[in-house]
Structure formats: C-alpha cells, structure tokens
Homo-oligomer: A and B are copies of this chain.
Amino acid sequence: MKRMGLLTSGGDCGGLNAVIKGAAKMAGSMGIEMMVIPNGYAGLYNLIEMDSLTSLTPERLMQIDVTLAGSEAGHSRVKIKKIDNPDKYQRIKDGLKKFGIEGLVISGGDDTGSVIVDLAENGIPCIHVPKTMDLDLQSYSVGGDSAINRIAAFVRDLKTTGNSHNRVLVTEVFGRYAGHTAFRGGIAAEADCILLPEIPADFDVVYEHMKREFTARIRSSDVRKGTYSIVVAEGMTDAKGEAIADESAGKDSFGHVKLAGAGKYVRKQLESRMKEDPEIKEFMKDVGMFVPDVYESPEIREVNPGHLVRCGHSSAYDTVFGFEAGAAGVVLLESGTTGVTVVGVESGEISYQPTAEVIKQRHVDLSEIALYEKLGFCFGRKPEEYKPNLQAHKGHIKRHV
C-alpha cells in the first residue's frame, strides 16, 4: 500500500495518541503515507466531500503528545449501521478512492469493531486496534489501565472527605456491561464494596457489611473517625439482574439506553436501611455524634467523576501498548490481512484474531472475585468459597511488561 487512513472511534481514553503515532511511524518506516480521517466514522462517511486530509508526516507528528489521553484524530459516536442510506458503503469507498487510501487502521471498542466487520465484508481492507476503557473486549484494549489508575486515585482521594465527616462515599464510574475498571480501580483504592454489572446486588448484604465495617472503624478510632467507600459501575444490576436506568436520560447515538443513577440508587438503598435501623441511632449516641433532630444518621454522598476517569494523561502501560498495537495494525494491514484485531505484540510476534470474535463481551472473572471476598471486600453477594488450584509452573513465564 502507498497510503492508509487512520481513524479512532467511540469513547475517548488513554493510549490513543500512541496508537496514532505508532501506526503513523510504522507506516512511515515502510514508505506508506498515513492520513488522518477526522472525527471517527462521521469523517469516514463524509470523506467524499472533504477538500483535503492531513498527512501524518514526521513534522506533523511532533504536535501529537502521546502522554495525553484522548485522540488527536478525533472521535464521534456515529455508527455506520444507523445511517439510513443504502449507498453508504459505496460512499465510503468513493471517499477512500478520492484520497487514494487503500486500507484503514481503526481503533475503537465493540461498536466500532462491529462496523469494522461490516467494512471488511464490503471489501474495505481494515484492521482493528482494540480500544475501550471498559475492557469488555476479549483482548486487552488501550484505555483500560489509564481508567483503572484514575478511578483508584479518585476513590483514594475521596477517603479524606469520608473520614472527615464519617460519611459513606459512593463513587459511580463507567462500565455498562462489564465491571473491569470498577473492580480493579476499587481494589487498588481499597474500596470496601464494589458493585458490578456481573453480580446482581443484594443490598441487605451490602448494608450488613457496611454497618459492620463502618461502625467498627469509628468505634475503634480515638477521634471517632471513619468512612466506608463503595465503587459502583454504572451498569450495576439490582437483585433482579436489571440495570439501573434513569428514565429521563434517553438513548445515545448507538441506540443504547443511557444509564444513570446507579450511585444515587445505591445511596438511597443504604440510606433507607440506615434510617430504619435502631442500632444506628445507638451507635451515633455511643460515639457522641448524635444530636436530636439535627444529626441522627450518618451521611452518604455519591460522586460521579464521569469523563474525569478517561481524560488527562495516559498511564505508561497504555502508551506503550498503544505504540505497539498501532504499529502492529499497520504491519497486518500491509500484509494483506483484513477484518482482524491486534490481540498481542511481543517477542517479535504479532498475534491477531477475527474482529467478530474479539468484540464479544468479556466479563469480570467471578473466580477472581472469590479471592477478594476472602480478603474482606464486599461484592453485593454472600461471599463464595475460594478454592484455588495450586499449580507448579514450568519454564518461561509470560509477562505483560
């Protein structure tokens, strides 16, 4: 190929600028020109109407800072399937032809990936570089590690507020179908309770755990201080396994119901139990917090950092993985492969899998949850047994770094 196009699509996150730079530099080293298709699939669809495209020359690449999250190529949440135009693939092909673009490197998540499958089926050579901070693809995807680190920092920081006010703090984070980042971010901040889409929440279990831990901390503190922290993925499910949707929130451009209010829901579930529990009043009196009519029950606050968990700087791992995955995408595309996802780059090997397989949802492995339940964390269910298999490992150990 002489010229490739690069686009990023779906939600922004860490590592994408390294994908862009890795892809463009690898292309450059192979004598291929890399063009930016701006604004994700919106730009791809409108290519035919554009006057010019930006080429990622060495000089232009100097302006891209790989340590920053987000994408210099721009995103949009436009999904090709939703466009009501029977000639849309022809329009895209015409646009690519206009600019002499022979193949595409596309970085995105499951929705993005499903379009890649379509594009490849429509004869447009393309390679998928996995990206989603939700980590709900089968392979690792850029953005996940950055999000986990930011969630952990926020949940950790909020403990100073919780400890000052003896408050329970509920932090709601992204995570529609899978709770990977809530899980790992929560563990890394040593949250007390983590509620995931994968485990229907039993609030009686949560309440008992909270009451026991929270009151024990304040009682054992010589300055009567303590907090309890909960991390909840937006896609958490109630006891019936249903997501907590906010009726007023509408749908996004991919047709998904907007989830909202998981944090608020958790707060209300716990507040109502706390207010009805006579032992809470007794506890408040015992530790000297109780003031009649004014302060009869500890406060619960919910915080929703929203896009703060995906912006700012990339984690080191995401930048490194991004460089490698972007570069690998170009090597695969040049080799004639299409419709596949980069799933590994190590020791001189690039491994890939059909995008259609990689975009199948991957959930948190519940056998890992049991380990953390042994360590005292609550996941909104009765703890299950942890019976690990002890296995002697022979020979070389694979590492991610």
- Can you name 13 extra interface pairs (CB under 8 A) apart from A39-B289, A46-B289, A352-B391? A8-B164, A12-B165, A46-B288, A46-B291, A70-B164, A77-B299, A83-B294, A160-B312, A161-B310, A188-B320, A305-B308, A347-B367, A351-B392
Closest to A227 in B: B70
Bitwise, A380-401 to B at CB < 8 A (1) or not (0) is 0000001111111110111111
- Determine the chain B residues whose CB is within 8 A of the CB of A184 once the complex forms: 316, 320, 401
Compute how far the CA of A29 lies from the CA of B387 in the bound complex, rounded to whole angstroms: 13
CB distance from A122 to the nearest CB of B (A): 18
Compute how far the CA of A374 lies from the CA of B307 in the bound complex, rounded to whole angstroms: 31
CB pair A140–B400 under 8 Å, yes or no, is: yes
Which residue in B157, B343, B349 is a CB contact (below 8 Å) of A308? B157
CB pair A295–B160 under 8 Å, yes or no, is: no
CB pair B36–A223 under 8 Å, yes or no, is: yes
CB distance from A30 to the nearest CB of B (A): 8
Which candidate, A59-67, A97-105, A234-242, is the interface stretch facing chain B? Answer: A59-67
Compute how far the CA of A83 lies from the CA of B293 in the bound complex, rounded to whole angstroms: 8
CB pair B149–A316 under 8 Å, yes or no, is: yes
Compute how far the CA of A301 lies from the CA of B311 in the bound complex, rounded to whole angstroms: 13
Contacts A180-B401, A374-B26 given: A351-B152 contact, CB under 8 Å? no
Which residue in B74, B140, B220, B306 is a CB contact (below 8 Å) of A303? B306
**What is the total number of residues of chain A having a CB less than 8 Å from a CB of chain B?**
153
CB pair A38–B348 under 8 Å, yes or no, is: no
| Complex A-B: 5 CB contacts under 8 Å | A26-B374, A42-B288, A59-B220, A349-B389, A352-B391
Question: Which of A135, A324, A370, A390 lies at the interface centre, i.e. has the most chain B CB atoms within 10 A of its CB?
Answer: A390
- Determine the chain B residues whose CB is within 8 A of the CB of A370 once the complex forms: 348
CB pair B74–A320 under 8 Å, yes or no, is: no
Interface SS of chain A = mixed
Residues A252-302 near B (CB distance < 8 A): 253, 285, 288-295, 299, 301
- Determine the chain B residues whose CB is within 8 A of the CB of A76 once the complex forms: 165-166, 289, 291, 295
CB distance from A23 to the nearest CB of B (A): 10
Compute how far the CA of A167 lies from the CA of B58 in the bound complex, rounded to whole angstroms: 20
- Determine the chain B residues whose CB is within 8 A of the CB of A220 once the complex forms: 59, 62
Bitwise, A142-172 to B at CB < 8 A (1) or not (0) is 0011001101111011111101111001000
Which residue in B166, B387, B397 is a CB contact (below 8 Å) of A348? B387
A319 contacts the other chain (CB 8 A): yes
Compute how far the CA of A78 lies from the CA of B386 in the bound complex, rounded to whole angstroms: 36
CB pair A140–B83 under 8 Å, yes or no, is: no
